[in-house]
Chains A and B, each alone.
Chain A
Amino acid sequence: MESLMAYVIGILFAAAIYMMLRRSIVKLVIGLIILSNAANLLIFAVSGMTRGAPPLIPEGAAAPLGIIADPLPQALILTAIVIAFGVLAFAVVLIHRAYEVVGNDDLDQMKDTDT
């Protein structure tokens, strides 16, 4: 399972960077969305995958018995998803506004501030 996830994450990172290198600003934002999902899955995969073992302590015991899933990475991912959601909502509004003022969705037309 872990090695399958490794391939999936690698493909997601590659796809994200490919999309970000395109000239269209819409594809740029799609790249950013994929990138944040790839990072979240990476956290999920590297912290170890455990099936069917919720981190619950049985009644009467002081510590969990046997192997349990680590809840912390899931908390991290949840936080990261919320943050990414907010930031990407902003990015979508930004490209919409940029398209309005520039009249074009081509990044090559947005070089005025570089020179």
Chain B
Amino acid sequence: MSPEVVLPIIIPLLAGALTLAFWRSTFYQRWISLFATTALLGSGIWLLSSIRETGFVVMQMGGWAAPFGITIVADLLSAIMIVLTGIIGLAIAVFSMAATPDKHQKFGYFPLMHLLLAGVAGSFLAGDIFNLFVWFEVMLLASFALLTLGGERAQMEGAIKYVTLNLFSSAIFLSAIGLLYGMVGTLNMADIGDKLSQVEHTGMVNVLAMMFLISFGIKAAAFPLFFWLPASYHTPLVGVSALFAGLLTKVGVYALYRVFTLIFIGDTGYTHTILLWVAVLTMLTGVLGAAAQFEFRRILSFHIVSQIGYMLLGLALFTPLAIIGGVFYIMHHIIVKTNLFLISGVVYRLLGSYDLKKLGGVYKQRPWLAILFLIPALSLAGIPPLSGFFAKFLVIRAGLEVDAWIATGTALLVGLLTLYSMIKIWAEVFWKKLPEGIDDSRLISNRTDSQLLVMLIPVVGLTLCTLYIGLNGEPIYQLASDAADQLLNPAAYIEAVLGENL
């Protein structure tokens, strides 16, 4: 028995039920959330350490042996993602204690947050492709409700696009599962990987690969399927935006990593070339979209799209170094992106706007906040010695090694344009004088604002994480390297899941 592999699913589900039971008391809901996300992080670290020892942790639900029963399986990539889910969950729980208005808390903000975390953790641990679909839906349904909580016009407009495209993606995913089942007669991902290598009709396999690419591409916001993301991520509460920015698209990326290293590896010349072009265009369109924006969170949303391109590039190049780079990039990105969204929330609290043209003068009054912004912003752009530099360095070096000149050139150019966007935010929000007629009483007041201090705790914590990844890169690189080893050696995964039934 290895309880650590189901704890990351059970803890948020329980916390969701408990917070629902305390529907009327936002006080208890907050503290339960804090406690539960800490426990989630703890269980993630437990899972990671036990995987460092044994390689894989597998659990067959109800004792039904794979491939017939439901399998929960964690490899190193899953464990890393679970730890990151815990970190982000904890950061958002702390941030939400101060930043969530009462009317949101009264309508189930915390229960929905836990259900979302359960869906995310379940997606990372599912060993069965239909279960992956079910966990996706759990996550999506919670995210729909979180996105519309508050009921403002912009939220409704954003939500219609978000809901429609995600439901469309689910329908494609479901159809692809059905076709795959009709072809190989199994749903267990390890078993599919094993059986699909014996299928002779590669044309049909490629069709399925493309259906999965489109379905997960919509969820990961890859080109040309990303339009729902910048239309909706800037509309909800900032805590919700930060949670989505950190975790939701990365579930799509994780699913792409899973299926394109385990299942569809028979014809990499075809599938991974398409992935490569998708990655290049994703990077480019995302960063160019951001350049045209003047709204804090919309700029950051477009940058999510462009950063997804780097992660896909790591997968598309499909060399050991590229996969290491991709995994490293996911770790770096989740922390940095959430942090930047949280900082936009802090600035909103000080000045009451997300519009860059109505912001300014923050550096003069709050130099520490400006530095807290600058560290993740420069890290996102890839300035050494911060975490983003090593992430970009690994991916670009992997590109150079296989002579992928266009992809590498684009990656470098996009890094430069990212710096441009970050400097634009820096100059507009922190550097320039506050425009006339903006209420700056909160910005210049010397009164200690306890809520603001609580909001700054996760920002400082995530900034320290970024600095840690950047300044102490060796163990993180080693972790990513071991994860890439496992991804590139699917036989070990298949053997761990199927055991003697192989």
Tell me the chain A residues, 88-107 only, with Cβ under 8 Å from chain B.
90-91, 94-95, 97-98, 101-102, 107
User: With A20-B164, A90-B163 as given contacts, are A113 and B181 in contact (CB-CB < 8 Å)?
Assistant: no
Q: Do A112 and B178 have beta carbons less than 8 Å apart?
A: no
Residues of B within 8 A of A40 (CB): 174
What DSSP secondary structure best describes chain A's contact surface?
helix
Q: Do A47 and B154 contact each other (CB < 8 Å), given the known contacts A90-B163, A107-B160?
A: no
User: Chain A residues near B181 (CB, 8 Å)?
Assistant: 43, 46-47, 72-73, 76
A28 & B164 in contact (Cβ 8 Å cutoff): yes
Assuming A28-B164, A87-B140, A113-B232, is B156 touching A102 (CB within 8 A)? Answer: yes
Q: Residues of B within 8 Å of A, CB-based: how many?
A: 39
Inter-subunit contact B178/A76 (CB<8 Å): yes
B154 touches A36 (CB 8 A): no
- Establish whether residues B141 and A86, one from each chain, have CB atoms under 8 Å apart when the complex forms: yes
Residue B369 at the chain A interface, CB threshold 8 Å = no
What per-residue 1/0 map shows which CB atoms of B114-157 lie under 8 Å from chain A?
00000000000000001001100100110011001001111011
Q: Measured between alpha carbons, how far is A101 from B168 in the docked complex, in Å?
A: 24
Known: A46-B179, A73-B181, A79-B134. A110 touches B145 (CB 8 A): no
Chain B residue nearest to A110 (CB atoms) is B157
Instruction: Verify if A83 is at the interface (C-beta below 8 Å from B).
Output: yes
Among B153, B161, B177, B227, the residue within 8 A (CB) of A43 is B177
**Contact of B192 with A by CB under 8 A:** no
The answer to whether B231 touches A114 (Cβ under 8 A) is yes
Complex contact B174–A101 (CB within 8 A): no
Say yes or no for A42: interface residue by CB 8 A criterion.
yes
Enumerate chain A residues within 8 angstroms of B159, measured Cβ to Cβ.
94, 98
Q: Establish whether residues B175 and A76, one from each chain, have CB atoms under 8 Å apart when the complex forms.
A: no
Point out the residues of chain A lying under 8 angstroms from B130, CB to CB.
76, 79
Q: Which residues of A contact B167 (CB under 8 A)?
A: 32, 35-36, 87, 91
Q: Is A80 an interface residue (CB 8 A)?
A: yes
Q: Distance (Å) between the CB of B347 and the closest chain A CB?
A: 20
Nearest B residue to A93 via CB reads B148
Shortest distance from the beta carbon of B81 to any chain A beta carbon, whole Å: 23
Q: How far is the CB of B188 from chain A (nearest CB, A)?
A: 12
Q: Interface residue tally of chain A, by bracket?
A: 35 or more
- Please tell me if the beta carbons of A112 and B156 are within 8 angstroms of each other in the complex: no
A94 engages B231 (CB within 8 Å): no
Bound Cα distance A73, B130 (Å): 11
Which residue of A20, A80, A94, A112 contacts B174 across the interface (Cβ within 8 Å)?
A80
Known: A97-B148, A113-B154. A42 touches B179 (CB 8 A): yes
Q: Of A46, A76, A97, which is within 8 A of B151 by CB?
A: A97
Within 8 Å of chain B (Cβ to Cβ): is A39? yes
Q: Please tell me if B199 contacts chain A, counting CB pairs below 8 Å.
A: no
Shortest CB distance A70–B (Å): 8
Encoded as 1 (CB less than 8 Å from any A CB) or 0, chain B from 200 to 236 comes to 0000000000000000000000000001000110110
Nearest-neighbor residue (CB-CB) of B231 within chain A:
A113
Cross-chain contact B153 with A101 (CB below 8 angstroms) = yes
CB neighbours (8 Å) of A35 from chain B are 167-168, 171
Known: A79-B130, A83-B134. A47 touches B232 (CB 8 A): no
Q: Is the CB of B154 within 8 A of A39?
A: no
Cα(A55)–Cα(B151), bound, Å: 49
**Could you tell me which residues of chain A, from 15 to 39, have a CB within 8 Å of some CB in chain B?**
20, 25, 28, 32, 35-36, 38-39
Q: Is the CB of A20 within 8 A of B141?
A: no
CA distance A87 to B142 in the complex (A): 10
Taking the closest CB of chain A, its distance from the CB of B235, in whole angstroms, is 6
Check B168 against A97 for contact (C-beta < 8 Å): no
Rounded to whole angstroms, the CA-CA distance of A35 and B174 in the bound complex is: 11
Instruction: For residue B191, give the distance in angstroms from its CB to the closest CB of chain A.
Output: 13
CA of A2 to CA of B160 in the docked complex: distance in angstroms?
36
Across the interface, do B152 and A101 meet the contact criterion of CB distance under 8 Å? yes
CA distance A67 to B234 in the complex (A): 55
Question: What are the residues of chain B within 8 A of A58 when measuring CB–CB?
Answer: none
Chain A residue at minimal CB-CB distance from B182: A46
Contacts of A112 in B (CB 8 A): 153-154, 157
Please pick, from A36, A73, A107, the residue contacting B178 in the complex, using a CB distance under 8 A: A73
Beyond A32-B167, A43-B177, whether A95 also contacts B160 by CB under 8 A is yes
Name which of A39, A86, A112, A113 has the most chain B CB atoms within 10 A of its CB: A113
Q: Is A48 interfacial (CB-CB < 8 Å)?
A: yes
- Name the residue on A nearest B158 (C-beta): A113
Which residues of chain A have C-beta atoms less than 8 A from B153's C-beta?
101-102, 112
CB closest chain-A residue, reference B234: A113
Q: How far is the CA of A75 from the CA of B161 in the complex (A)?
A: 30
Query: CA of A40 to CA of B133 in the docked complex: distance in angstroms?
Result: 14
Q: How far is A86 from B145 in the complex, measured between Cα atoms in Å?
A: 12
**With A46-B182, A76-B178, A102-B153 already in contact, 15 other A-B pairs whose C-beta atoms are closer than 8 Å:** A35-B171, A39-B171, A39-B172, A39-B174, A40-B174, A46-B178, A46-B181, A48-B182, A72-B181, A83-B134, A90-B141, A94-B160, A101-B153, A112-B157, A113-B234
12 contacts between A and B (CB under 8 A): A32-B167, A36-B167, A40-B174, A47-B182, A73-B181, A80-B174, A83-B134, A87-B170, A90-B163, A94-B163, A101-B151, A110-B157
Closest 3 CB pairs of A and B: A43-B178, A46-B182, A98-B156
